[in-house]
Amino acid sequence: MRLPTSNIPPVMRKHGLLALGCTGLGVLLFIFIYYSENGSLASARLLWKKYLMFIALTNAIGFSIFQVDRLFNHIIDWKNNFLLRFMGGLLTNILLVVLFINVTGNYFFGLTAEEILKLTIVFTLVVFIYEIFYGLFYSYYHYAVTQAEQLKSDRWQLELQFESLKNQISPHYLFNCLNTVSSLLFKDTQVAEEFIRRMADTFRYVLSHQKQKLVSLREELEFVKAYYFLLQVRYEYHLRLDINIPQNILDSQVPPMTLQLLVENAVKHNKISKETPLFVYISAQDNTHILISNSKTTAAQPITSFRVGLENIHKRYRFFTKEKVIVKDDDKFLVQLPVLKKEKIKFAKA
């Protein structure tokens, strides 16, 4: 009957494998030392006590080395200090082996001076080989974990972008655009032509940047201008957008469609008319933050739905920086976005 290994705790499995490996090593070491001295193989029936002695010795040394390495893993990180961690573990474990064999081999196991010397040399070589493989294993493990986290983060980011994209290429948005074009064709064909061109620009931007994590602020602002033209025509020019961004941050980064989403939500949650025009401002503060604010009129829709878009923006910025997105709802509605410069962007964990 096979044991259900999946129910065995990982620590017990690890200790079991360590004990099995040390036991095998103890048997091989005794065979080697006996053969080097007598020129024949050791009989397990006649020398079983010696076999058990070497098995106990290798298990004691093996578990001691295992605990030392666990301690060093908490003190020195393989990823950031590989050479220091390798040399520290190697020298400490060799010193441990030398002391352990010389003390226990003489007083507890009754080994001769020649046997102690041979064991010390063999164990030193074993520890050296073990530390090399141990270091390679941890290097591969950290690499694999890093790659897995990066893939997870990429997928998470794309999912957030997809949610934003779904809001842009929606039947409702397309329906409103086509409705506006339809009415313009009978009123002003020149404006209708410009409207269609700008509408094509917005869809082209959405489709061409749907897989990108970041775009330049310059590109995003051009997209917002095209989108603003559509809104301006739709609301009969009762919407005003003022953009005042210094040249030196135009090459900074923003998640695609972030500014557009904030402009769209300002329009969505405020009534726009000749009597209650809406003003939207995009500016910068100390070259470290982008400010998007809008005046407030009578709410056109329940304001709670706005939180979905804001949460989307919060999550997307957490992916790139530890700085927070700040939202203030006072006389004006204000969203403060940290400026993302290429050299300072940090990818956070998913």
How far is residue 290 CA from its own chain's centroid? 25
54, part of any domain: yes
Query: What pLDDT score does 269 carry?
Result: 86
Query: What pLDDT score does 240 carry?
Result: 92
197 or 78, greater pLDDT: 197
Do both 191 and 311 map to the same domain? yes
* Total structural domains within the chain: 2
d(CA 183, CA 181): 5
163, part of any domain: no
Do both 211 and 122 map to the same domain? no
Do both 123 and 259 map to the same domain? no
Query: What pLDDT score does 349 carry?
Result: 40
**Each residue's pLDDT tens digit, 50-77:** 778 778 878 888 888 888 888 888 888 7
Do both 9 and 122 map to the same domain? yes
Residue 162 pLDDT exceeds 70: no
Do both 233 and 123 map to the same domain? no
d(CA 276, CA 326): 27
164, part of any domain: no
Locate 60 and state its tokens: 């004691």
Give the structural domain span for 306.
Answer: 169-344
75, part of any domain: yes
Do both 247 and 329 map to the same domain? yes
Strands (E) in 217-332, as ranges, are 239-244, 253-254, 278-285, 289-294, 326-329
157, part of any domain: no
159, part of any domain: no
**Each residue's pLDDT tens digit, 330-349:** 889 999 999 998 766 655 44
**Each residue's pLDDT tens digit, 39-50:** 777 676 667 777
Do both 206 and 325 map to the same domain? yes
Boundary-marking domain end, from 94, 116, 149: 149
List beta partners, residue 241: 280
CA triple 33-38-41, angle to 5 deg: 70
Locate 342 and state its tokens: 């290429």
Do both 120 and 193 map to the same domain? no
Do both 250 and 128 map to the same domain? no
190 or 142, greater pLDDT: 190
Residue 183 pLDDT exceeds 80: no
Query: What pLDDT score does 282 carry?
Result: 96
Query: What pLDDT score does 168 carry?
Result: 55
Confidence class for position 26, pLDDT limits 50, 70, 90: confident
Query: What pLDDT score does 2 carry?
Result: 46
Confidence class for position 244, pLDDT limits 50, 70, 90: very high
User: What are φ and ψ of residue 38, in 5° steps?
Assistant: -115, -15
Query: What pLDDT score does 242 carry?
Result: 94
Residue 281, SS3 per DSSP: strand
* Cβ–Cβ < 8 Å for 96, 107: no
Boundary-marking domain end, from 149, 184, 201: 149
Strands (E) in 124-277, as ranges, are 215-216, 239-244, 253-254
Do both 231 and 260 map to the same domain? yes
Among 276, 269, 243, 258, smallest CA distance to 335 is for 258
